Structure 1
């Protein structure tokens, strides 16, 4: 079983940011990445639709013998991972906005979070925020329009800069010293975010933490791959293969798959 792949799914290409962290930490592991770009973004969908799509993605990955599934989507994690864990007999690793470290380390007592509507409106997000924010002011911003631009290959475009400037202005005015990225698409915006935000603002995403948790679960379950043969990485999308190629190294092959 240790040779079986890790399955990773997201509402689109954004979860490749999580894949990169997993591949860097676990170079022996085979992976299968599923980009449900045809249904992106998940953030504007109902909880029922998000669960339905997450089940569809999970079953496709399980049909390809995945030993563990990483839900590389904040919206799918906050809305569906509890049901997935109750329904399937494989480990699931989710991703949540890193409110805890931002709140604990904030000096200005103000942190910003940029995320989808589906994440910010979920009960799991509210529970986590209420648990850790203490006396810290949390400025929430729905990233309306960001995912479609990334999925269209316009990650660092002038339209994106305009959108981010509008979204970040209230956070800058509130003197945030941490910005939490609550969507796996958003790490690809780092060049623009660093240019727009004041120098003292630290940006946190959860990709590295997900990789560490994946490694811990593989070790605990005794299913980590110890073989040193070249790992195999498969990428499937029901959207544009060209857009995914923009975010991945040229050595990666991306296949179109209707699902």
Structure 2
């Protein structure tokens, strides 16, 4: 099995991290009062977007009452509200909202994924959990014709660089540091004529968006630049 559909299926069946399995399933059982009448997904969350996407967005992990509830990355929470509105504004999504898996949303040329696929307690995966999950991200990126990646936050940045190095991209030493608006171009050891562009963006968390550290315009600027670098137009 080497296609994205089979990968996504295998991701949803993973039980490699006992702490994360226990937490995601407890959240799905207890639920938040506002969603008491809904059936939670309660499993690892696969990536979302077309199989031929030249642009990827790498986050952190599913939110307990967001993607862990809906089964789709960045769907059903405040972080997703900001991200999908920005994607729609720059022409990468068919609609500005993402509420549930059957809401008709389509992504254009972009796939959204994460280095950790299960909702972690306090939104903080352990290093071991991150490393357990790494093969999923590595395989997913190997199946995409990716030319640019937007990384949301320092955790995703730090988790992604070893994946890219192992996949044959020339990651500088010392490794480039995360920052909002940072751009790094990596050469491929096997495809030197096909560089990979990394772009940093503050995570679309409420902590950042409610305080004004990250504004919708800032997200749109990074996504527009990534769209251009991925060959999807300016």
- TM-score, normalized by length of structure 1? 0.31
Q: Larger C-alpha radius of gyration, 1 or 2? A: 1
- TM-score, normalized by length of structure 2? 0.34
